[in-house]
Structure 1
């Protein structure tokens, strides 16, 4: 039985494009060697993937970085969806507990990675450190701006707070990343594994602006 592939931060900053809905765009992003493709399985999202593609179609996408995003979903549905869609990673974007992550691990393929989202609101450093400590059963963390919509807001949190804490796992940086603020990444003492982009690189929800994404890729590589 193979162990999960552990991706570690390197010199090259990786890129995740989340909220995909269009097969043609997914194919082009794959050709562009985009590192991670994000599919949202949250029914209240305007980018809910099952309104556009079925699980079989997602499973047939040839890519090693397919991420399924779930919000307060049942263990059984996450496991079944991950299997049918052949997901490489599961992103938990809701209020899932440490115990939930441990139980999920037992139900999914051993190579499937788990990403736990830390929703950044008004926590101080100590509170944030405690939240991170409670979520070390995941393989990766993802820091995103807190919202009732669970992501996709286009709003940035203050990245400086990440310099005041210990981050024990590789992490994704999300929340309003754009061509206008990408240069501020240099303030971070611990580099993210990947940037997670969504609404700032769209023409409308689920329809990506591929030209802007190409510019970003050229800037971060």
Structure 2
């Protein structure tokens, strides 16, 4: 696993698909706890059902949720990672860290849109030191999966002080372009490009993608 990125499949809603993904040794399983999302997991699974999924890479995705709400959900669903996809600031994240402890890792999403390199770098530099990972995604008004990529060359022009996830429109068609990034992501986050409909994953496409990133020497 030294040179190849981990894989996170986000927006999961179906237990049978989750079991298949675990059999495929998918590294990270993403559950969206944002009720405006078409992939809102609590419309499909209970916190108890999520807690019973035997996997060490369960990621809860939250958007401007109360800290108390996150702590309760993380505990009841036995989450391993918290992904913050909203406007959570340093003060918020520091308080969340105090309440959630050190064992649960925090991923902070940075949405890339029209800002210039200096603005983007400033946003990165302002992140709480308690954040474990950054995640770069395409900006959208809806706080979530646009299925669109941003210009990955931007990542070559900024300093990224901690490991990061790459998200936003990653697909079978553009996976080869990852080689243009000098500072490689620790993980790739896939969602809408690998679905039949929101929350219903196309497992054959995921298997194909997995074989590409695991086996092709030229990929990463």
Q: TM-score range by the shorter chain?
A: over 0.9
Alpha-carbon deviations, 1:119-139, whole Å to 9, x = none?
011111111111001114211
Alpha-carbon deviations, 1:145-202, whole Å to 9, x = none?
0112212111100000010000001000000000000000000010100100000000
Give 1:19's aligned residue.
Answer: 11
Give 1:191's aligned residue.
Answer: 184
Is the 8 Å Cα contact of residues 155 and 176 (structure 1) preserved in structure 2?
Answer: yes
Hey, what's the Cα distance between the residues in 1 that align with 2:155 and 2:125? 14
Secondary structure at 1:83 match in 2: helix
Alpha-carbon deviations, 1:88-140, whole Å to 9, x = none?
00000000001111000011142100000000111111111110011142110
Residue in structure 1 matching 2:51, options 53, 59, 65: 59
Is the 8 Å Cα contact of residues 199 and 205 (structure 1) preserved in structure 2?
Answer: yes
Hey, what's the Cα distance between the residues in 2 that align with 1:136 and 1:77? 20
Secondary structure at 1:38 match in 2: strand
Give 2:157's aligned residue.
Answer: 164
Is the 8 Å Cα contact of residues 117 and 144 (structure 1) preserved in structure 2?
Answer: yes
Instruction: Structure 1: state its 5+ residue gaps.
Output: 1-8
Is the 8 Å Cα contact of residues 18 and 40 (structure 1) preserved in structure 2?
Answer: yes
Secondary structure at 2:88 match in 1: coil
Hey, what's the Cα distance between the residues in 1 that align with 2:193 and 2:41? 18
Residue in structure 1 matching 2:143, options 128, 142, 150: 150
Is the 8 Å Cα contact of residues 51 and 78 (structure 2) preserved in structure 1?
Answer: yes
Is the 8 Å Cα contact of residues 58 and 86 (structure 1) preserved in structure 2?
Answer: yes
Give 2:193's aligned residue.
Answer: 200
CA RMSD, 1 decimal: 0.9
Is the 8 Å Cα contact of residues 94 and 128 (structure 2) preserved in structure 1?
Answer: no
Q: TM-score, normalised by structure 2?
A: 0.95
Give 2:23's aligned residue.
Answer: 31
Is the counterpart of residue 119 in structure 1 residue 111 in structure 2? Answer: yes
